[in-house]
Amino acid sequence: MTVPLRQSVRIAAYLAAQKLRRRDKFPLLVELEPLFQCNLECAGCGKIQHPEHVLRRRMPVSQAVEAIEECGAPMVSIAGGEPLIHPEIDEIVHELVGRRRLVYLCTNALLMERKLDQFTPSPYFAWAVHLDGLRERHDESVCREGVFDKAVSAIRAAQRAGFRVTTNTTFFTHDSPDTVRRVLDFLNDELKVDQMMISPAYVYERAPDQEHFLGVRQTRELFRAAFADGRRKRWRLNHSPLFLDFLEGKVDFGCTAWGIPSYSLFGWQRPCYLMADGYAKTYRELIETTDWGRYGRGRDPRCDNCMAHCGYEPTAVLASTRSVKQSLRALVQS
Ligand code: SF4
Ligand code: SF4
């Protein structure tokens, strides 16, 4: 079974189990942030502005594992900050993979090649390398020269070592349909990564760059034009077909923030990875004490320009399960 097919089957089984248990809110994937410190200072980042004493903190392995066990999510995306700075990140990955969670380790790749031998290839583990464009565009996005070349070298080293490698690309107003196509063609055809994630940038309140974020209309125009020549089908995108339809503006959805919750050093973040309206100690408390109806486009001005994966991919996945046609589309894509 290919890894994407294994992932689709795993998620389908998990969704069926939630339905049997009559659980109406449940996590598909957790954004786990075991630290906030990073070795880059990207202008669009909303995660690294904490005071020094917070940046120095590291989440213990047991706390990370207990949070994932308590919520029951089948997939975990470990982000930060830069997770490879965490001295026990290999142990966190090892524990979660051992519990058959599908783990994505998000990284800017600066430390990846050096730390590769601390990890073991597994169908339950993938690197998710941050690459916002080709050389000039990516280095500009992360505010440091040479990062693109380091990331490409680390991806090739991981592929040689037998790891599954995916990428995560965020698009801003500097991007055009042509830059979207060029970076995805490069990742798909030249680097031959296993799968690629894409996202329009979200305007974090704390990010130094408040100017280059796409609005909803711009996001739809960008992706509709970039996908226009049929490449969308050829690219190995790690998204449900309905989420890609949503980015193109072919369908519209509400936000399902409880489907991809965020757990950090502060606890379960309300309501999502992008906004912080307080924290809960457990996923259950997060679900029971959050007024979910307050959030989403047209309800909270901070949500008005959001088309992010963490809010809308769960809506797309849940909508797919309610339609035989969409379920087949999702499986064929695997
Ligand atoms: S690499 Fe990621 S966490 Fe680090 S500064 Fe850039 S966006 Fe923020
Ligand atoms: S619309 Fe976006 S920012 Fe608002 S709650 Fe949903 S995911 Fe979070």
Concatenating the DSSP letter of every residue in 51-103 gives -HHHHT----HHHHHHHHHHH--SEEEE-SS-GGGSTTHHHHHHHHHHTT-EE
pLDDT at 229: 83
pTM: 0.94
- Contact predicate 38/47, CB 8 Å: yes
pLDDT at 3: 57
* Token pair recorded at residue 139: 């280095």
Task: Check whether the bond before 301 is cis (ω within 30° of 0).
Answer: no
Q: Is the CB of 42 under 6 A from ligand 1?
A: yes
Give counts: helices (H), strands (E), the chain: 14, 9
* Ligand 1 centroid distance, CA of 5 (Å): 30
Q: Is the CB of 203 under 6 A from ligand 2?
A: no
Ligand nearest to the CA of 269: 2
Counting atoms of ligand 2 from 1, which one is nearest the CA of 273? 8
* Token pair recorded at residue 224: 């509709």
pLDDT at 8: 82
Place of tokens 């994932």: 68
CA atoms 157, 159, 165, 169: torsion sign: positive
Which residue ranges in the chain fall short of pLDDT 70? 1-3, 204-210, 323-334
Distance set, CA 302 to CA 61, 106, 126, 216, 267 (Å):
33, 25, 32, 13, 21
Per-residue pLDDT tens for 288-321? 999 999 999 889 999 998 999 999 999 999 998 8
Place of tokens 């449940």: 26
CA distance 87 to 10: 30
Q: Residue 59, Cβ neighbours under 10 Å: how many? A: 20
Q: Is the CB of 142 under 6 A from ligand 1?
A: yes
Place of tokens 């989403």: 296
Q: Hey, which of 31, 39, 77, 82 would you mutate to test ligand 1's pocket, going by the most ligand atoms within 8 Å of its Cβ?
A: 82
pLDDT at 327: 66
pLDDT at 210: 64
Q: Residue 160, Cβ neighbours under 10 Å: how many? A: 9
CA atoms 61, 65, 67, 70: torsion sign: negative
Query: If you take atom 3 of ligand 2, which residue's CA is the nearest one?
Result: 303
Radius of gyration, CA atoms only, the chain: 18
Q: Is the CB of 41 under 6 A from ligand 1?
A: yes
CA distance 287 to 60: 24
State which H helix or E strand residue 29 sits in.
Answer: strand 29-33
- Contact predicate 166/104, CB 8 Å: yes
Place of tokens 């392995």: 61
DSSP structure class, residue 145: T
Q: Residue 204, Cβ neighbours under 10 Å: how many? A: 19
